[in-house]
Amino acid sequence: MIVTSNKGKFLEYYQLFRENGFELKHYNLKYPEEQLGSIDEVARRSLYYLTGIIKEEFFIDDSGLFIDSLNGFPGVYSSYVQSTIGNKGILKLMRNETNRNALFKTSIAYYDGDIHIFNGETRGLISTEERGKNGFGYDPIFIPYGEEMTYAEMETIEKNRISHRYKAAMELMNYLKKKKI
């Protein structure tokens, strides 16, 4: 089961899990996210908090966008920055910047009696304008390396072939498959 109040995240995971023969349940719940030093720590802390409430196996996803020329900003502040200055604010900050390299990271924290962390990273470029209507959050300004389109110009199935979330989800599903044997 995934615990998230973000419908976009759930849909991506739902598709990835289905493709791999897993059925994924959704618990739509907003939970506290402390601003700690890394997304792994944020995910671990939130998961730990939720283990006091949820009594079955579940996972959460904490993700962040790390922009090279901004020394990794917004990073662990990605959620706050998205809801305050948003994509337009990021583009403004980077108006005359030629180094547009960035990294999207996902940390999955999974609980099955113990806490496990799985990671995924995708490098890319920050576009010069917002493009595309799909996805959520920073999708309209992130172009994965080797692609022309932003995440928001891709269908979920295409984003799910290359994304930071896909890579972390594969790590989790490999663990789940091994556990089944």
Q: What amino acid positions are annotated as catalytic residues?
A: 62
* Closer Cβ to ligand IMP, 48 or 177, answer by number: 48
Is beta strand 115-126 parallel, antiparallel or unpaired with respect to 58-67? Answer: unpaired
Q: Which is nearer to ligand IMP, 97 or 130 (CB)?
A: 130
First vs last C-alpha separation in the chain: 20
Distance CA(171)–CA(165), nearest Å, equals 10
Nearest distance in Å: CB 179, ligand IMP: 25
Instruction: Give the torsion through C-alpha atoms of 110, 5, 103, 153, to 10 deg.
Output: 130
Applying CB under 6 A, which residues contact ligand IMP?
6, 33, 61-64, 78-79, 82, 135-139, 151, 165
Which residue lies nearest ligand IMP, judged by its C-beta? 137
User: What's the min distance (Å) between Cβ of 18 and ligand IMP?
Assistant: 18
What are the C-alpha distances in Å from 42 to residues 83, 143, 171?
18, 25, 19
Rg (CA), the chain: 16
Tell me how far, at minimum, the Cβ of 11 lies from ligand IMP, in Å.
11
Amino acid at the residue 111? Y
- Cβ proximity to ligand IMP, 32 vs 52, nearer residue: 32
Cβ proximity to ligand IMP, 37 vs 113, nearer residue? 37
Closest separation between CB of residue 80 and ligand IMP, Å? 8
